[in-house]
Structure 1
């Protein structure tokens, strides 16, 4: 076979079907947009269902000198003892960096890019180490969970320090200043069972 015969037998590659590919890309983008929109609507609906929850207090003008501080992450809040029942009302569902300060007046949670809140000493119920809260699961004891009262509901808020070795010290300090009816509330784990 000569070179000319070989060249004559070769065919050009099939032309790409751009309209088919564009159709698939547009369809995929529409599905992604729909899923995102449904997730956003679910988040808003959860906030509407929790509209009876009062807004947490803002930081006081003079909280006092902090006895200890913590830098880390705020992983969200849930109904106490129900680690998957996320609280989203009033920005409590927004994960963010956080600076915690334990003062004589209570626990100050400062969150850049999200709403700060304050837990008065009388509202503190307990602190414990746990392994998870809605949207975040860590090794056993990797999460500092603070239980506090907001209105007539108990809330669990999860924090993780940049230095997790200080978690046990925070548990002891928070439990030492917890409200007067601290003993009336059983300690719960992520499984929701009382200890």
Structure 2
């Protein structure tokens, strides 16, 4: 091809890319509406859960002071469900909100301090057990990567999940909680027996 042909080709008119701004705006608005609808449905479902669970009593407030600390750790609070059902998330009293958390175990029970949400306290008499698990409230962790504590709130047993910053601490927590529960049950049984003897 000659130089003249190249010059003629370069000077020939080129079609500019066509941008359909109206179509693009329509797509963006449609996507935003779908996102807003999904968010609204999620909020409605969450509010419905709160209404259904409104009979659940509020957990105890964190005491200002307790006896000597047995164990403490920092990590993430993964949520609370009804015991045995890892998908039945509890929305009442903000128990279902995931957050950072500080756990402190003492002879009186377990303090759950959540700086960005509602803190609560589980008295030792309401502790029912502890185990390692891999999922709660729809969130999945590696095998054994979750500390699940079972406790009583009113007439309902709950499971609360925690992931310590050092997951190697989980075994120590399971052992300490189980030992504390057994010690409390033993003292309670002895007190009951002493009361029966005095009343005889």
Deviation digits for residues 23-58 of structure 1 (CA, Å, limit 9, x no counterpart) = 111111111111111111111111111101001011
In 2: Cα distance, 1:66 partner to 1:76 partner = 24
In 1: Cα distance, 2:179 partner to 2:155 partner = 22
In 2: Cα distance, 1:16 partner to 1:140 partner = 51
Deviation at 1:101, TM superposition (A): 0.3
Normalising by structure 2, what TM-score? Answer: 0.85
**Structure 2 unmatched runs, 5+:** 187-200
Deviation at 1:94, TM superposition (A): 0.5
Bigger share in helix: 2
Residue 61, structure 1, aligned to residue 64, structure 2: yes
SS state of the match for residue 50, structure 2?
Answer: helix
Deviation at 1:91, TM superposition (A): 0.6
Structure with the greater alpha carbon radius of gyration: 2
Aligned to 1:154: 157
Aligned to 2:97: 94
Aligned to 1:192: none
In 1: Cα distance, 2:71 partner to 2:11 partner = 83
Pick the aligned partner of 1:29 from 13, 27, 32: 32
Aligned to 1:180: 185
Deviation at 1:119, TM superposition (A): 0.1
Aligned to 2:81: 78
Pick the aligned partner of 1:105 from 108, 111, 123: 108
RMSD of the TM alignment (CA)? 1.7
In 1: Cα distance, 2:109 partner to 2:19 partner = 66
Deviation at 1:11, TM superposition (A): 2.5
Pick the aligned partner of 1:143 from 125, 130, 146: 146
In 2: Cα distance, 1:8 partner to 1:68 partner = 80
2:86 and 2:138 in contact (8 A); partners too = no
- How does 1:183-194 map onto structure 2 within 5 Å? none
**Structure 1 unmatched runs, 5+:** 182-195
Equivalent residues, number: 181
Pick the aligned partner of 1:134 from 114, 134, 137: 137
In 2: Cα distance, 1:46 partner to 1:96 partner = 19
SS state of the match for residue 150, structure 2?
Answer: strand
Residue 121, structure 1, aligned to residue 140, structure 2: no
